[in-house]
């Protein structure tokens, strides 16, 4: 069975602080994909990143960076110099051979001015 765990329910930081959102996954598939989505109050999911199981390279996109470690089954997301606009719920998700997307429970991030 596939499972995604986001242990942090809510995180509150002050603007300009760095923050890391944790994601741990379980799967028996050898080929799988991991995702991060942002869900602002409007509800629409915003795609942030996709990573396949064969690519463990870390990625940086502006203030966002992702650390994928197969050895610990983790795919963590770091926001550097957080901004108020980063306030949202962030979901980590996993898909494999079934094509079904399994979401974690989400982490609510509040960035205070």
Partner 1 sequence: GAVVSQHPSWVICKSGTSVKIECRSLDFQATTMFWYRQFPKQSLMLMATSNEGSKATYEQGVEKDKFLINHASLTLSTLTVTSAHPEDSSFYICSALGLEGPYEQYFGPGTRLTVT
**Residue numbers of the site for partner 1 (CB under 8 A)?**
33, 42-45, 47, 50, 52, 91, 95-96, 99-106, 108
Q: Least separation, in Å, of the C-beta of 13 and partner 1?
A: 20
- Residue (28 or 100) nearer to partner 1, CB: 100
Residues in Cβ contact with 101 at an 8 Å cutoff, skipping those fewer than 6 apart: 35, 93, 94, 95
DSSP E strand boundaries for 15-52: 19-21, 24-26, 33-39, 46-52
Question: Any idea what the Cα angle at residue 92 is, between residues 111 and 96, rounded to 5°?
Answer: 170
Q: 74 or 108: whose CB is closer to partner 1?
A: 108
In whole angstroms, how close is the CB of 89 to partner 1 at the nearest point? 8
């Amino acid at each position: 069975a596939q499972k995604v765990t986001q242990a942090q329910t809510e995180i509150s930081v002050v603007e300009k602080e760095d923050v890391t959102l944790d994601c741990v996954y379980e799967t028996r598939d050898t080929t799988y994909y991991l995702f991060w989505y942002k869900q602002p109050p409007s509800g629409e999911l915003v795609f942030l990143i996709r990573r396949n199981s064969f690519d463990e390279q870390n990625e940086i996109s502006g203030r966002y960076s992702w650390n994928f470690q197969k050895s610990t089954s983790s795919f963590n997301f770091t926001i550097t110099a957080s901004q108020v606009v980063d306030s949202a719920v962030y979901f980590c998700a996993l898909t494999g051979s079934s094509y079904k997307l399994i979401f974690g429970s989400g982490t609510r991030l509040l960035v205070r001015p």
